[in-house]
């Protein structure tokens, strides 16, 4: 499947709440593959949500296994349909970036441990417990599905938002 262009802030689709997937058909499988291909093509990307490629469905992919922060603690490639956080604990601040906001990074408060329930491509329900960097990445991508960008969660616009020097 082809790599899709990433919508950039302030594109209005990025602020839309995505709707649930009702039918698990070939179009959803194709969407997931597009998201995986787009994630792998992005510089340092560990996740992509459907809204970032202009599709307002509750679908996202995350894989922190190749990132130094997630290498030791991850579930591999997660293709999540209609994900929801069912539990969260702890709090930590981590610097986040986003392909939809390529010129900035920011310090964001996130839960350090979460439980996520989602459907897989075959419609089967799955539940995972995630912690550390993987938990942060999951929360970041799931925020996209609710029209929330990391910019909306930066701890302080004055001291917690940073211009990126390069994006590679």
pLDDT of residue 58: 98
Number of other CB atoms surrounding residue 36 within 10 Å: 17
Residues 108-132: pLDDT tens digits? 999 999 999 999 999 999 999 999 9
CB 94 within 8 A of CB 164: no
pLDDT of residue 80: 98
Catalytic residue positions?
Answer: 141
pLDDT of residue 165: 79
Domains for the chain: give ranges and CATH numbers: 12-91+109-153 (3.90.45.10)
CA–CA gap between residue 22 and residue 81 (Å, rounded): 10
Residues 2-26: pLDDT tens digits? 999 999 999 999 999 999 999 999 9
Residues of the chain with pLDDT under 70: 1, 166-168
pLDDT of residue 7: 98
């Amino acid at each position: 499947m082809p790599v899709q262009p990433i919508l950039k802030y302030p594109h209005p689709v990025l602020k839309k709440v995505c709707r649930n997937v009702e039918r698990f058909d070939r179009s959803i499988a194709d969407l997931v593959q597009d998201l995986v291909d787009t994630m792998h093509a992005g510089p340092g990307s560990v996740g992509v949500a459907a809204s970032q490629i202009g599709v307002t469905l509750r679908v996202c992919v995350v894989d922190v296994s190749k990132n130094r922060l997630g290498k030791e603690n991850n579930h591999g490639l997660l293709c999540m349909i209609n994900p929801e956080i069912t539990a969260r604990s702890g709090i930590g601040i981590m610097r986040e970036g986003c392909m939809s906001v390529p010129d900035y990074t920011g310090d964001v408060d996130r839960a350090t441990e979460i439980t996520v329930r989602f459907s897989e491509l075959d419609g089967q329900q799955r539940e995972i417990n995630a912690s550390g960097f993987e938990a942060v990445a999951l929360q970041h991508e799931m925020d996209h599905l609710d029209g929330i960008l990391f910019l909306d969660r930066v701890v302080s616009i004055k001291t917690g938002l940073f211009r990126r020097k390069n994006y590679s």
